Structure 1
Amino acid sequence: MYDAFEQSPYKNGRWIAPHNSEDIQNFYFRARTQFDLSDRLERAVLHLCADSYYLLFVNGLEVSRGPARGTHTHNYYDSLDVATYLRPGRNVIAVLVQCMNYDTFVAAPVQPGLIAEIDGVVATDASWEVSIGNDWRRDVESYSIQVGHSEWRDMRLEPLGWTLADDSVAWEPAWVIPLSSQLYAKKLLPRSIPALIERIIFPVDIPVVASVPEVADLCAVEISEWMLQEAYSTPSESRITGLATVLSGQEGNARIEPAPDGSGITIIFNFEAEIAGRFKLELTAPEGTVVDVCYNESVKDERLAIKHSQDSYHFVDRYVLREGRQTIGSSVYDRGFKMVQIVLRNFGSTVEIHKVSAIENRYPFVKRGSFHCDDMLLNRIWDVCCETLEACTTDVFTDCPWRERAYWVNDLIVENKTSLQAFGASEVHRRAFRMAFSEVREGELFAGVCPCPDGYDHLVLVPTNLFVVLMLKDYLMHSGDKQLIRELLPKITIILETFSRWTDDRGLVSPDERYWNFFDWSYELNDISLNGKTTSLLNYLYVMAMKSMLEMAEISAAKVDDTAYKLRISKASINLEECFFKQDEKLLSDWIDDDGRSSHSSQLAHAFALLSGETSVDNRKYFEDALSDTDILIPELYLHYFVFQAMQMCGREAEALGRIRKYWGNIVKTGSPTIWEAGIHECGKEAFGGDGSLCHGFATCPIAFLQNVILGIEPLTPGFESFKVEPRSLGLNSAEGRIPTPHGNIYIRWVSEGAHLNVELKVPRGTIAHVSSGSRYGEGRHFFKIKINSMPGGVIDCQNIDTVSQAVGVR
């Protein structure tokens, strides 16, 4: 049962915690050890893991925080060379640990625990000492259902000097968690991604400063309820001085004076960037001063909306200060924000604010991909989409920084491909796929969110289990990583077998109604549920997934029963149009039931049908026309990803580009640095009852369109060993960009000249470029012209003329 633990780097280290802490929720504890060294060490690798978060100090210096999020079956340990922090003589390793001790969308803890070891030097055992973090109050509001509790910390109770073992608090011997604990059953895996980039960001503006009434009961838990209702008034000029000095990024000197009536002061700091990280406020204050810290993305009615339509959303933390200078902000876990509101209360003498900043954490992407054309709006859309992806990627791809910071696997259908196009393949893609498959649930399906709390079967998103096949194919084509495909294909087979068990005698899939048949928010925002229904969307997607699986199996030389899949594809395809196509309306019905075909149709269903390759010659034109039909349901920003692919397939690229300019253009024209969660059926912050995110990675599909269509580059074989070159001008005069591949970057530049495109193409070594005219080019820089003829339906016929190459090409 514990083989996974025994194969980890821990030879002597065991999980430790305070005794009887295994059932306490929202639990903090400190652990430390002292040891002597006779000499300096050239190398000292500390392997460290906590369930669920840690903050590491070595000899009083903050060294690291972590770990990378795990799942119900895996924990990840960090390996840190701490030799530079150690010294001859006495040394202290100290760790702060936090565990919600219940499932959230970012952690799946077993119980509070810490395990650490430097081989031959020190390891967690009964010789360590621990102390319960009583400076954190446990019975507080939920911050969000996705993250856990808010933080309420009394700084007066912190054992100052504890990181150097120089405090006066009574510590107790660590409890060694017994081997019977499920902590030892979880696999301990090495961190599979590089360290995140930490960047210091300072606020650029202070949009609101106001006085707030004195609060009688500062022990009441319901902070967010009355914060949204408390009245604001204008403070006297003499009460607040020097506030603008904290915008410099240097040591400021803002002074806030107390008022005779006991009123407090509220201040909003605008960082003008979407941040996943930590807010830091350095200040000097009298003992007992209370600081409430609120997080959001925009100001509404001169305050941040910190309590939302879901009762579990209360985006506020509280700190009770000790006397003197101190720094406050979230202790071990990140917050997401663009704006931060602080409220200072209960101070009887001057409060001085010295510095306001944020520490942003992002995955270390390299911006290998690029796009630039003569339309500045499209350039801005590309840049904002890339910024959105970066803001949404930390230790894995996440939906948004502010509301959840959760890894929604369905979002990866867009984030996976667009990040591959913008940044190239990296470890975070492999980690994302392996994490998802480690959470396979009862019924051989995985949930939409990873990790997913136990008992949340409704978060098993049916289409996501088919999307993942398409995601892996995108990953294979862009990365060339056949090893991961061979590793995961057996698990894909199990998932597809579940869908096979859901098929009827027509070969059509009707999913288990317990699960969420979620495709795109356009349905839910229009009060439409697809749960348990036999839908055209899911069935065409099922065909697409089976075809993609067979293609990957052939490419990676994996063994699958291709005969069985071909029979399933054939059986479903024969019946799809017969069951779903409405002859009188010339549209696909979104679902069928006992009463026959529903009256509801969507652009998305027709996109899936076209992309599946299973449309009849007689009806294909109707399917293509439906992509432009505004009388049927148009998808939200998210799954325009598939509609744009279908438009590209049938020569409607100009219309797709028009939608990008309209919907994504409307967002960037507001000055937003990132792309919103919703921008069609509802918009921005007002979407989802005020819970709408202003930064959502799943809304970045224009990256794919601009690279595949305007630049015209797509892989034909895994890893771009061969790739297509078929740029579309669509009214533009010029475009250029880089496309990352495992062999190096492809570079393309074209300029429109009458009926031709003058093209410059750089082909990396080990790849072959295939131009639509039939010409092929190998390594080197090539110059040629493409003749453009507009054909019926918008299809572009490209011919190469007057070709000149600076390297020996393959013709």
Structure 2
Amino acid sequence: MDWHAKWIWKRDLCRLRNVYLYARKTFELAVEPTAARLACCADSRYRLWVNGSYAGRGPVRSDPRWQYYDVYTDLPLVTGRNVIAFDVHYMGEGSLVYVLGPGGLLCQLDGTCDGGPVQVGTDESWRVMWSDAWSPETPRMNIMRGFIENHDAAREPQGWREPDFDDSPWARAEVLGPVGIAPWTSLVERDIPMLREHEVFPDKVLDTKSFRMLPGYRREQRNICFQIARRQLTPLEDGDLDGVENVRVWGPACGVVRGTRDRQGVSVLLDFGQEVSGFPTIRLSTEQEGVIVDFAYSEFLTNGTVDTMSAEARGYYADRYHTRKGSQQFEVYLPRSLRYLRVDFSNLGRATVQIESISMNAWEYPVGDRGSFECSDELLNRIWDISRRTLHLCMADCFMDGPARERTQWVGDAWAQALVNYYAFGDLDLARKFLRQVAQSQREDGSMWAFYPADFPFGGDYIVPVWNMLWVRALWDFYVYSGEMEILEELLPSALRFSDWLRECEEEDGLLHDFNGWYFFDWSDNIEQSGSRAVYNMFYCDMIERVARMAETVGRDDVAETMADRARVLAEAIRRTYWSDERDCFVDFVKDGAPSAVCSEHAQILATWLGIVQAERGSALLRRVLAGQGQWIGINSLFFCGILLLALSEVSEQDSALAYVRNHWGKYYLEHGCANWPETCDFTQGSYCHGWGAWPASFLMSEILGVQPAAPGFAQTEIAPHPGDLVHVRGTVPTPLGDVSVAWRRDAPKGMTLEIASPSQRSYLVRLPSMGQPFGAVTLNGSAIWYDGAFVPGKNVEQVESESDDLCFRLKAITSCRIERT
């Protein structure tokens, strides 16, 4: 893009934190433009209006060295006076969702009007004003997130987004410099779609209460959550509140709050039925300025209400709004995530507040309904639905660990989420962006951040080597599911530099021993943080193997051979060092030459999944894990529960994996009433909606429905159902070449019908399960391909040798087919 706009700001705000800036530019058009394109970005966040109409918000979270900008083309420009208006929030502090930079705004409009060019760009002619409607004196929600919001509508200039607003008293913008100034040295056009915004109303009103304001309530205090938590809720008295049961209904005066006594407040508790991520919104009217409306949020209830100060709350989740006179709408600026919303009305005096609506402006990554799964077990259908929804809630401008507490792109979490996404949604843009942004975090020594883009709130950096080992696997997975070799060529050098950094930490035995970083892969207790650790080295071995495969794919044969040899040597060192004949399992670590007495489920699961042990021994180890006899450190995150599913599938134990999904995700979590999957197995820490818990969606589609890529990008698609005890399954798997729909049904004792369909001709590798019975007759679209114990050659079908009892054959140039076994 040819930039002529300049970065602008108000210099007296540069050293402040948690401040908001209004910026606007009016201009005249002789006629309505035939084409227009507006590009913009800001540090930290912006909202954009054109001629008073909301256009959007952004930008995508970025490393300022590769600053994303957004593009808008559907603009309501008119003949005559027009205005572009922004309000910009500047954090002024780094967080796990923001890399600290200076405040700044950049905007450029290019168009064609009456045959000539139109150009409007940020420069010294723009008008700006610091907004004192938002108080900067609010605390952070937690160390990971931004600030509590406290907005006074009476201090906001009315009509400032409109063309005819008089902005002459505002200051002129100060130019920081042209495009290319530090820290925004490179600008990158947004490479993911704009997030979708739509209104969601509460499912029901759970409770209404009164409360007495304690002395000092009029004094502005920094911690709104503390004020909310101090309120003693009592039964509502007559006349305080009318019609609030209809608060979810669009329309005038669906709830009326009346101030009937001094120092009295009203509290309304709303349940949205499931978690929603977005912006809490209220529409109301009142003739009193200064009524206080407090919003408190939670994924769960504590003693029947939203507790803003408990340890379980894991932060301060509340915002405040002060009314002006008249009809008004307020929307929280930065995203929140909640199931339960508590709205407290105070400082009422004798005022009447008519509530038109309370809602969430949901803010979601725009996935389609490409992936689907349905089977004869309603419990599994419910598990699939919750998994899909959990993942979707954790997709915004990146893969977030969870939408409520952190909203951070943790690398290990994102690897798991991307895998599930390929099946549930088939989106490649968010995964591609994730891979590139983690590579941007790489330092000169080759190490990487465990979450990015972000600033570590305690200063310094944050190294979790296992997470970045999984970035390498995520890069390979992306190639397998997308077929895009270009990204391997682009990012393989980063993977090699990271591998070199880790190799510097190897000891003489070729294993990784002690080095700086957080030894994290699960929330289990009693995981040893020193010595030569089995789990570290198993992940390390897998990473080296992935690098070898990538190097071979892009034609770096010398690198591929070297890395493959290293992986073989490391696998042997792992077996030699950590296997205990006495315990008949892998020990967790070796320290000062002595094997530990501690063993974990994690080591047995990884050794099986990664092929460090043979399948027969791996199956035996996993049976002991599933028996749960307590002799090993157990799993305490749904992240590693998902790796257990991968390990069981790797050794053809899909039936056991299916039972585990039912017993673990199904009975245990549904009995807790979960509408989304939590972070940990025991609910003792973490979030109640966590993307890494969505594993069942991809397991059910890849292993039970049975659809997997047999060649990168699904150039050839494998169909290998594992029926277990199910009677029928149908589903659709998104692929870059078009969606593949599969349906199969069992007919006792050995019959099966399998239907495959896609929008274009493609090649399939079909593995028809034996189900413990010899094959009788098998037909393809009515013509025999197996009869009397022998394969029958036919057009577009050929037999493939199989090491199992399954019948394996390849279909060529097929759009749809029906396979029947009798």
TM-score, with structure 2 as normaliser? 0.89
Task: Please show how residues 166-185 of structure 1 align to structure 2 within 5 Å.
Answer: 166-167=165-166, 170-178=169-177, 183-185=182-184
2:765–2:808 contact (8 Å) kept in structure 1: no
From 745, 753, 756, the equivalent of 1:758 is: 753
Aligned equivalent of 1:62: 54
Deviation at 1:425, TM superposition (A): 3.5
Alignment of 1:168-567 (within 5 A): 170-178=169-177, 183-217=182-216, 218=218, 219-285=220-286, 286-309=288-311, 313-331=315-333, 333-348=334-349, 349-441=351-443, 443-454=445-456, 456-457=459-460, 459-513=462-516, 515-521=517-523, 523=524, 526=525, 528-558=526-556, 561-567=559-565
- Measure the CA separation in 2 of the matches of 1:768 and 1:185: 47
Q: Is the contact made by 1:282 and 1:327 (CA closer than 8 Å) also made in structure 2? A: yes
Distance 1:130 1:512, change over 3 A: same
Query: Could you say what secondary structure the match of 1:446 adopts?
Result: coil
| Uncovered stretches (5+) of structure 1, i.e. residues with no partner | 1-7, 790-794
SS in 1 for 2:141: strand
CA distance in 2, matches of 1:808, 1:362: 34
Whether the 8 Å CA contact 1:676–1:699 is kept in 2: the answer is: yes
Matched letter for residue 478 of structure 2: Y
1:543-602 per-position Cα deviation (integer Å, ceiling 9, x unaligned) = 111112222222343566123213322321222122111221111111111262222222
Distance in 2, Cα, partners of 1:621 & 1:198: 47
Mean CA deviation greater in 23-32 or 732-741? 732-741
Mapped partners of 2:713, 2:310: distance in 1:
45
Q: In the alignment, what sits opposite 2:16?
A: 24
The answer on whether the counterparts of 2:42 and 2:88 sit within 8 Å (CA) in structure 1 is: yes
Match of 2:32 in 1: 40
Deviates further, 550-559 or 122-131: 550-559
Work out whether residues 450 and 462 of structure 2, in 8 Å CA contact, stay in contact via their aligned partners in 1: yes
Whole-angstrom distance in 2 between the partners of 1:800 and 1:311: 53
Aligned residue for 1:252, secondary structure, equals coil
Deviation of the 1:781 alpha carbon: 7.1
Given the superposition, is the C-alpha separation of residues 46 and 764 from structure 1 closer, same or farther in structure 2, using an over 3 Å criterion? Answer: closer
Secondary structure (helix, strand or coil) at the match of 2:805 reads: strand
Closer/same/farther in 2, CA of residues 457 and 566 from structure 1, 3 Å limit = farther
Which residue does 1:3 correspond to in 2? none
Aligned twin of 1:74: 66
Moved more, 390-399 or 440-449: 440-449
Aligned with residue 574 of structure 2, among 561, 573, 576: 576
Q: Deviations over 1:395-448 (max 9, x none)?
A: 111111221222112102211111001111431111111112111246422222
CA offset at residue 224 of structure 1?
Answer: 1.4
Give the deviation of 1:302 after TM superposition.
3.1
Q: Which deviates more, 594-603 or 238-247? A: 594-603
- Cα pair distance change 1:772/1:88, threshold 3 Å: closer
TM-superposed CA distance for 1:359, in Å, is 0.8
Separation (CA, whole Å) in 2 of partners of 1:201 and 1:64? 18
- Residue 764 of structure 2 contacts residue 812 of structure 2 at CA under 8 Å; is this kept in 1? no
- Aligned position for 1:104: 95
Aligned residues: 777
What is the Cα deviation at residue 532 of structure 1?
4.4
Cα distance between partner residues in 1 of 2:785 and 2:97: 51
1-structure distance, mates of 2:760, 2:421: 23
Q: 2:738 aligns with which of 720, 737, 744?
A: 744
SS at match of 1:143: coil
Q: Is the alpha carbon distance of 1:171 and 1:310 closer, same or farther for their aligned partners in structure 2, counting shifts above 3 Å?
A: farther
Distance (whole Å) between structure 2 residues aligned to residue 807 and residue 169 of structure 1: 66
Farther-moved stretch of structure 1 (218-227 vs 426-435): 218-227
Name the SS for the 1:338 alignment partner.
strand
- 2:634 counterpart of 1:634: yes
Separation in structure 2 between the aligned mates of residue 242 and residue 810 of structure 1, nearest angstrom: 57
Relative to the length of structure 1, the TM-score reads 0.90
Q: 1:648-688: CA deviations, max 9, x gaps?
A: 1223222221221112113235553322222x3x13xxx21
* Change over 3 Å in CA distance of 1:487–1:800 after alignment to 2: closer
Within 5 Å, give how 1:676-755 maps onto structure 2. 676-678=678-680, 680=681, 682-683=682-683, 687-688=684-685, 692-753=686-747, 754-755=749-750
**Equivalence for 1:594:** 592
Q: Contact 1:363 / 1:393 at 8 angstroms: preserved in 2?
A: yes
State how far apart, in whole Å, the 2-side matches of 1:453 and 1:305 are. 28
1:648 and 1:627, CA in 2 relative to 1: closer, same or farther beyond 3 A? Answer: farther
Distance 2:468 2:223 in 1: 40
TM-superposition CA deviations, 1:792-811 (whole Å, max 9, x none): xxx9722379x999879999
SS in 2 for 1:694: coil
Contact 1:135 1:153 in 2 (8 A): yes
* Sequence identity percentage: 25
C-alpha contact (below 8 Å) 1:290/1:321 kept by paired residues: yes
The Cα shift of 1:62 comes to 1.6
Residue 40 (structure 1) shift: 1.1
Distance 1:570 1:192 in 2: 38
Distance verdict in 2 for CA 1:103–1:653, change over 3 Å? same
1:500-556: CA deviation from partner (whole Å, max 9, x where unpaired): 11111111012523x1121112x2xx2x34444421111111111111222222234
* CA distance, structure 2, for counterparts of residue 807 and residue 281 of structure 1: 51
2:133 to 127, 132, 135: 135
Cα distance between partner residues in 1 of 2:699 and 2:45: 39
Q: Which runs of 5+ in 2 are unaligned?
A: 111-117, 771-779, 790-802
Contact 2:618 2:651 in 1 (8 A): no
Shift of 1:184: 4.9
8 A contact 2:704–2:722 mirrored in 1 = yes
Separation of aligned partners in 2, 1:187 and 1:462 = 28
Instruction: Say which of 747, 762, 768 aligns to 2:763.
Output: 768
SS at match of 2:260: coil
Contact 1:245–1:254 (8 Å) recurs in 2: yes
Q: Which moved more, 1:226-235 or 1:479-488?
A: 226-235
SS at match of 2:536: helix
Q: Deviation string for 1:313-340 (max 9, x for gaps)?
A: 2111111221222112312x21111121
**Could you tell me which residue of structure 2 aligns to residue 5 of structure 1?**
none
Tell which deviates more after alignment, 658-667 or 167-176.
Answer: 167-176
Amino acid at match of 2:124: A
How large is the RMSD of aligned CA atoms in angstroms? 2.8
Contact 1:71 1:108 in 2 (8 A): yes
**Contact 1:458–1:516 (Cα < 8 Å) also in 2:** no
Say if 2:644 is the partner of 1:643.
Answer: yes
Give 1:180 shift: 11
Aligned-partner Cα distance in 1 for 2:619–2:160: 73
Q: Does the 8 Å CA contact 1:784/1:804 hold for their aligned counterparts?
A: no
Instruction: Measure how far apart 1:232 and its partner are.
Output: 0.9
Are the structure 2 counterparts of residues 575 and 701 from structure 1 closer, same or farther at C-alpha, using a change threshold of 3 Å?
same
How far the C-alpha of 1:456 sits from its partner, in A, is: 4.8
Residues 530/189 of structure 1: CA separation in 2 closer, same or farther (3 Å cut): farther
Contact 1:241 1:256 survives alignment (8 Å): yes
